[in-house]
A and B are shown apart, each in its own frame.
Chain A
Amino acid sequence: MLPNLFVVCFLQAEVEETLKRIQSQKGVQGIIVVNSEGIPIKSTVDNSTTVQYAGLMHSFIMKARSTVRDIDPQNDLTFLRIRSKKNEIMIAPGKSPSASGFQASC
């Protein structure tokens, strides 16, 4: 039991470290971690923005993934970038939780 917890705790620290590392990159405005149901798990921005992004991205990811799958069933979506005039939203869809970060465009 204890080692398990320990492992989990250790890994947890790694999670924090990963997220911190991403956040510290140049131009990154924020990170949101969302689970498969669309519930934001972790976020570095305020709640309303989180909820907005989570809600909007969810259906978008679904659509993109289904598009890729439709064209080639063996294929799968690995990364999604939405580039706009002011910034760029980058989405990494995983099996379960998906992380999305937004970065200001250079």
Chain B
Amino acid sequence: MEIVYVYVKKRSEFGRQCNFSDRQAETNVDIQPDPSQAKNFIERDPIDAAIQCASDMSEHEVNTERFEMENEGVNHLEGGWPKDVNPLEMEQTIRFRKKVEKDENYVNTIIQLGSLMEHCIKQNNAINIYEEYFDDEETADVADEPPSAKTINVFRDPNLIKRTATHLSWHPDGSKKLAVAYSSLEFQRSSKDMSYESYIWDLENPNKPDLVLRPSSPLMSLEYNPKDSHILVGGCYNGQIAYWDTRKGGQPVELSTVEFSHRDPVYGMIWLQSKTGTDCFSASTDGQVLWWDIRKLTEPTETLVMDISRKGVLENALGAIALEFEPTMPTKFMVGTEQGVVITCNRKAKTPAEKIVGTYSGHHGPIYALARNPFFPKNFLTVGDWTARIWSEDCKESSIMWTKYHMAYLTDGCWSTIRPAVFFTTKMDGTLDVWDFLFKQNNPSLSVKVCDEPLFSLRLQDNGRFIGCGSKLGTVTLLEVSSGLCTLQRNEKNLATAMFERETKREKILEARHREMRLKERTKAEGKEEDVKVETEEEKPEELLARVQKEFFEIIEAEIRRKERAAKLSKAQEKEVTDENEDEDPYKVRIHPRVPPFPYCRLIPRFYPPTQTPEEPPHCTLWRFSVSLL
């Protein structure tokens, strides 16, 4: 229903200014109370009214100023002995003790306490009341909760001029300490005041670093020796290698000589498995991979030039950024380069040319991280440009799985040490992504915004639960991942194996197909040169044309025939109708010929038998028609 109000206005009055006038208030409506309405209501007595009697409270948050604390030890000396007894003299103490033991009170107390103590010990031995009662039930709940990550602690660079945390390394035993290498990655942006120090942080104390390492040039990478937790080796910005012993302080124990070191920042540094536990190798963007023995850093034990053409020419070499080494496969190692190529190398090869075994190219930019899956060493993860890719060693053409192209550059990545299908990546927009490709392939299953500045490095602790992320301003954030992401799910290994195999097979099939296509093209290219082949090729299109034409006409004819048949069928139906009409009864009433058949209806007569038998004198029998309108 539309409510409309119509009013009339003279055309000459349009556009006239409004002249408002004042008038007295008028009562428009006056509704008096109507007592008869009260009968529609019932009085309620008593009424429940809720009143809150709680005291008013407000919530406030206060952050106090940081209170500087330092832990220091105190040396205790034995005391409490009475004045005449010298605690250091055995005789006097023994004499004193014997005196106390002879006291009657002592004896009684001891006996009484002894029985009490015995009672408790026996209690302990009888039942362990602190045992784990609900061990089995806990595992059921884990799968349901959504993945999450919690920030546990943040370690900030104490210097004024912030440097990027380029590399993180966890302490090998127990992971209570974290070594962080700080340097400035921006080209020629490091100021004179920038400090060269790198720190070892104790997780309990985020305010002050546990140990300060003072190299002669900022450290790009830093690694704890997995065999000896006091030794660390670091690669410097100027290409030198240095090693520290934490028992000896912050100065490096030894530095490699400048002439034999790298000529570019040392981006990757990994310890090797060896009997002496002192071997390591380093990689740098100058194209070399050098092997060192810690005890003699004056010159590298071995060098390898990252030249894919296997000629060992330094000019053609690719700059190496990421290094990968798995202790279970001591002869093989992989290098990720600036040009987006992963090179697999065999250390035990005789000639340098044979050392480079294969290459995998697929990234458009430098490969910042390279890691083998700890459960499936044949598959490895590379992180570079805007994607992360998973490769299988067997497929050299392309990666078997890859993420979509993100908006931000990916800077680092690593596999989870507990779950074979989970890996972590960091991006330039400060987010940490957790990917679980058994759960979701297109998107990370968890994406956490760690900080506003870009994240540059990532390291997972060995138990798979804690992750340290280093950012551009030197802030290292320690995150704890929810238990769903760091406990092995049922069947996960099998599912991951199946997935890897499937993807590998797919890639292999694609590779084979590509190869076939390329072969065909090559043979075709060779074939076009011969004349005979040319003719056959020309005939082919003519034949093709003829064939196509024939087919076309066939189809058309078939269509025409079908239509004719359909028309015939309909006509036949009508004829049948009329035929039947005449056959049935000669006394039928003829339809007036003038009655035009309706264009929209077709008379389908229904035949009702005549009410009279034909023997009877004929008179008009009415045929009842039912007309159906089409």
Q: Which residues of A contact B (CB under 8 A)?
A: 8, 11-12, 14-15, 18-19, 21-22, 25-28, 33, 35, 37-39, 41-42, 51-52, 55, 78-79, 81, 83, 88, 90, 92, 94-99, 101, 103, 105-106
Q: In the complex, which residue of chain B has the Cβ closest to the Cβ of A91?
A: B117
* B130 touching A83, Cβ below 8 Å: yes
Residue of B nearest to A14 (CB): B111
Residue in chain A with minimal CB distance to B93: A39
A38-B80, A98-B113 known; A22-B101 Cβ under 8 A: no
Q: Is the CB of A18 within 8 A of B114?
A: yes
> Which secondary structure characterizes the binding site on chain B?
helix
Find the B residue at minimum CB distance from A11. Answer: B107
Encode B94-123 as 1/0 by CB contact (under 8 A) with A: 001100111011111111111111101110
Residues of B255-313 at the interface with A, using a CB-CB cut-off of 8 Å, are: none
CB distance from A27 to the nearest CB of B (A): 6
Question: Does B186 touch A at the CB level, under 8 Å?
Answer: no
Q: Which 7 A-B pairs have the closest CB atoms?
A: A18-B114, A11-B107, A92-B113, A94-B109, A38-B80, A99-B113, A106-B128
Residue pair A25, B80 in contact (C-beta under 8 Å)? no
User: Please, which residues of chain B bring their CB within 8 A of the CB of A38?
Assistant: 80
- Across the interface, B101 reaches (CB within 8 A) one of A18, A26, A42, A81, namely A42
Residues of B within 8 A of A (CB): 76, 78, 80-82, 96-97, 100-102, 104-118, 120-122, 124-125, 128, 130
- Cross-chain contact of B110 among A18, A28, A103, A105 (Cβ < 8 A): A18
A15 to B100, CA, bound (A): 13
Give complex CA distance A105, B388 in Å.
49
A–B Cβ pairs within 8 angstroms, 11 of them: A8-B107, A11-B104, A11-B107, A12-B107, A15-B107, A25-B118, A39-B80, A92-B120, A94-B109, A97-B113, A101-B121
Which residues of chain B come closer than 8 Å to A14, judged between CB atoms? Answer: 107, 111
Q: How far is the CA of A9 from the CA of B81 in the complex (A)?
A: 25
Q: Taking CB as reference atom, which chain A residue is nearest B117?
A: A92
Residue of B82, B106, B110, B120 near A79 (CB, 8 A) is B120
> Contacts A39-B81, A79-B120, A101-B117: A26 and B110 contacting too (C-beta < 8 A)?
no
Is B125 in contact with A106, judged by CB distance below 8 angstroms? Answer: yes
Cα A55 to Cα B124 in complex, Å, equals 25
Quick check: B104 and A8 within 8 Å, CB to CB? yes
A22 to B115 alpha-carbon distance, docked (Å): 9
- B85 to A, closest residue via Cβ: A39
Question: Besides A26-B125, A27-B125, 19 other CB < 8 A contacts?
Answer: A8-B107, A15-B106, A15-B107, A18-B111, A18-B118, A19-B114, A22-B118, A27-B124, A28-B121, A35-B106, A38-B80, A39-B100, A41-B101, A79-B120, A90-B117, A92-B117, A99-B110, A103-B121, A106-B125
Which of B109, B114, B116 has a CB less than 8 Å from the CB of A78?
A: B116
CA distance A17 to B145 in the complex (A): 57
Please state if B100 and A35 are interface contacts (CB–CB under 8 Å).
yes
Contact status of A21 and B97, CB under 8 A, knowing A94-B109, A97-B106, A105-B130: no
User: B residues within 8 A CB of A37?
Assistant: 80, 82
Give min CB distance, B164 to chain A, whole Å.
Answer: 39
Chain A residue nearest to B90 in the complex (CB): A47
Assess whether B97 is in contact with A41, with CB atoms less than 8 Å apart.
Answer: yes
Of B82, B97, B114, the most chain A CB neighbours within 10 A belong to: B114
Known: A19-B114, A21-B118. A12 touches B101 (CB 8 A): yes
CA–CA, A79 and B80, complex, Å: 24
Q: In whole angstroms, what is the CA distance A28 to B114 when docked?
A: 13
Question: Contact between B110 and A81 (Cβ–Cβ < 8 Å)?
Answer: no
Tell me the smallest distance from the CB of B596 to a CB of chain A, in Å.
Answer: 106
- Give the docked Cα–Cα distance between A52 and B125 (Å): 26
Q: How far is the CB of B492 from chain A (nearest CB, A)?
A: 30
Nearest-Cβ distance from residue A103 to partner chain B, whole angstroms? 6
Complex alpha-carbon distance, A51 and B93, angstroms:
13
Provide the residues of chain B in CB contact with A22, threshold 8 Å. Answer: 114, 117-118, 121
- List of B residues within 8 angstroms of A83 by Cβ: 130
Bound CA span A77–B104, Å = 23
Contacts of A28 in B (CB 8 A): 121
Residue among A15, A90, A98 making CB contact with B111, cutoff 8 Å: A15
Closest to B119 in A: A79
Question: A72–B101 Cα gap in the complex (Å)?
Answer: 33
Alpha-carbon separation in the docked complex, A98 to B117 (Å):
11
Q: Write out the residue numbers on chain B whose beta carbons fall within 8 Å of the beta carbon of A88.
A: 124
Min CB gap B564→A, angstroms: 96
Cβ-neighbour of B116 out of A8, A25, A35, A79 (below 8 A): A79
Residues of A with C-beta under 8 A to B117: 22, 90, 92, 99, 101
Q: Tell whether, in the assembled complex, residue B120 and residue A21 are in contact, meaning their CB atoms are under 8 Å apart.
A: no
Give the nearest-CB partner of B130 in chain A. Answer: A83
A106 to chain B, nearest CB (A): 5
Kindly provide the distance from the CB of A89 to the nearest chain B CB, expressed in whole angstroms. Answer: 11
Question: Is the Cβ of A33 less than 8 Å from the Cβ of B78?
Answer: no
CB distance from A86 to the nearest CB of B (A): 13
Q: CB-CB < 8 A to A15: which residues of B?
A: 101, 106-107, 110-111, 114
Contacts known (A18-B114, A99-B117); A25 close to B125, Cβ less than 8 A: yes
Q: Is the Cβ of A97 less than 8 Å from the Cβ of B130?
A: no
> Which residue of chain A lies nearest to B114 when distances are taken between CB atoms in the complex?
A18
Residues of B within 8 A of A8 (CB): 102, 104, 107
In the docked arrangement, what's the CA distance between A12 and B81, Å?
A: 23
With a cutoff of 8 Å between Cβ atoms, the chain B residues found around residue A90 in the complex are 117, 120-121
Instruction: Using CB atoms, name the residue of chain A closest to B81.
Output: A39
B130 cross-chain contacts in A, Cβ below 8 A: 83, 105
Chain A residues contacting B113 (CB-CB under 8 Å) are 92, 94, 97-99
Minimum distance in angstroms from B316 CB to a CB of chain A:
59
Interface centre among B76, B81, B116, B117 (most CB of A within 10 A): B117
Q: Specify the chain B residue showing the minimal Cβ separation from A58.
A: B80
